[in-house]
Structure 1
Amino acid sequence: MAIKNLEDLYIHQLKDLYSACKQSMSVVTEMGRAAKSRELSEALIAGNQGISRGMEILAEICNKHDADPTGEHCRGMEGLVIEARKHAIEEDFGDEDTQDAAIITQYQRLSHYAIAGYGCVRTFANRLGHDDDGARLQECLDNTHSGDEHMTRIAEGGVNQAAVDGQ
């Protein structure tokens, strides 16, 4: 697809973000299974539910614009997923609490990529006059940001201290 204008870029980025979300779901599930902390595991399950809801919204917006949401492969998220798997699941950890800290780190990297993506497509939607799209994308952005903040609270509320205590 040639990107001739902002509308084309908007659709391209929606598809790319859909791909990013789809790719992240498997590693978030794996991290949820690997997490020692029950609170962290539950947050990752909730995170996957949020990712799934975001994908639904992205698909609905794409369909509204006669675009197939599955038409792109996000190489940026592909790399982040590889890194998350390597550094949060496959790494040889001497202590489970340190692994939980690593899981939070990798989840937040995935989230920050999604936050950037949602912010960009929301801004494009608003500039293009797609106000309903913009409102729905803002909802996705808010939810992703909220999940990121929740992970910070989990880290600061005990996971990082437990990792220090386990040394």
Structure 2
Amino acid sequence: MTIDTLKDLYLDQLKDLYSACKQSMPVVTEMGRAATSRELAEALIAGNEGIARGMEAIASLCSEHGQDPTGEHCKGMEGLVTEARKHAIEADFGNGDVRDAAIITQYQRLTHYAIAGYGCVRSFANRLELDGDGAVLQDCLMRTRDGDEHMTRIAEGGVNAAAAQG
């Protein structure tokens, strides 16, 4: 598909964001299984539920514009997923609290990529006067930011302190 207009770019980026979300779900599940903190594990489960809701919203928007959301492969998220596995799952940790800190780090990197993606497509939708799309994407953006802030609270509320003791 040739990208000639902002709407073409908007639709392309929606598909890229869908791919990013889809790729992130398995590694978030893996990190949830590896977490020693129950609070962290539960937050990662909730994070995956949020990712799934975002994917549903993106798929619905794509469908409304006659697009298949599965038409892209996000290379950026592919790299972030590889890094998350390397640094939070496959690394040799002697301390579960330190692993939990690494998991939060990697999850937040994935999340920040999604925040950037949602912010861009929301801005495109608003400029294109696709008000319904913009509202849906704003909701996705806010939910993703809330999840990121929750992870920060978990890190600062105990995980980092416990890791520092190890």
- TM class by shorter chain equals over 0.9
Q: How far is 1:94 from its partner?
A: 1.4
Report the equivalent of 1:108.
108
* 1:52 counterpart letter in structure 2: A
Structure 2 CA distance for aligned equivalents of residues 14 and 80 of structure 1: 18
Report the equivalent of 1:37.
37
Report the equivalent of 1:15.
15
Report the equivalent of 1:48.
48
Report the equivalent of 2:27.
27
Structure 1 CA distance for aligned equivalents of residues 95 and 39 of structure 2: 18
CA deviation vs aligned residue, 1:46-79 (integer Å, no higher than 9, x gap): 0000000000000000000000000000000000
Instruction: Describe the SS at the equivalent of 2:126.
Output: helix
Report the equivalent of 1:119.
119
Q: How far is 1:18 from its partner?
A: 0.1
Instruction: Describe the SS at the equivalent of 1:18.
Output: helix
Which sections of structure 1, spanning at least 5 residues, go unmatched? none
Report the equivalent of 1:86.
86
* 1:105 counterpart letter in structure 2: T
Report the equivalent of 1:156.
156
Structure 2 CA distance for aligned equivalents of residues 76 and 164 of structure 1: 31
Number of matched pairs: 166
Structure 2 CA distance for aligned equivalents of residues 82 and 164 of structure 1: 26
* 1:132 counterpart letter in structure 2: G
Normalising by structure 2, report the TM-score: 1.00
Structure 1 CA distance for aligned equivalents of residues 96 and 41 of structure 2: 13
* 1:72 counterpart letter in structure 2: E
Structure 1 CA distance for aligned equivalents of residues 129 and 145 of structure 2: 24
Report the equivalent of 1:135.
135
Which sections of structure 2, spanning at least 5 residues, go unmatched? none
Structure 1 CA distance for aligned equivalents of residues 51 and 13 of structure 2: 16
User: Root-mean-square deviation (CA), in Å?
Assistant: 0.3
Q: How far is 1:44 from its partner?
A: 0.1
Instruction: Describe the SS at the equivalent of 2:156.
Output: helix
CA deviation vs aligned residue, 1:93-148 (integer Å, no higher than 9, x gap): 11000000000000000000000000000000000010000000000000000000
Report the equivalent of 2:58.
58
CA deviation vs aligned residue, 1:6-44 (integer Å, no higher than 9, x gap): 000000000000000000000000000000000000000
Normalising by structure 1, report the TM-score: 0.99
Identity, % of aligned pairs? 76
Report the equivalent of 2:145.
145
* 1:19 counterpart letter in structure 2: S
- Answering whether residue 8 of structure 2 is matched by residue 5 of structure 1, we say no
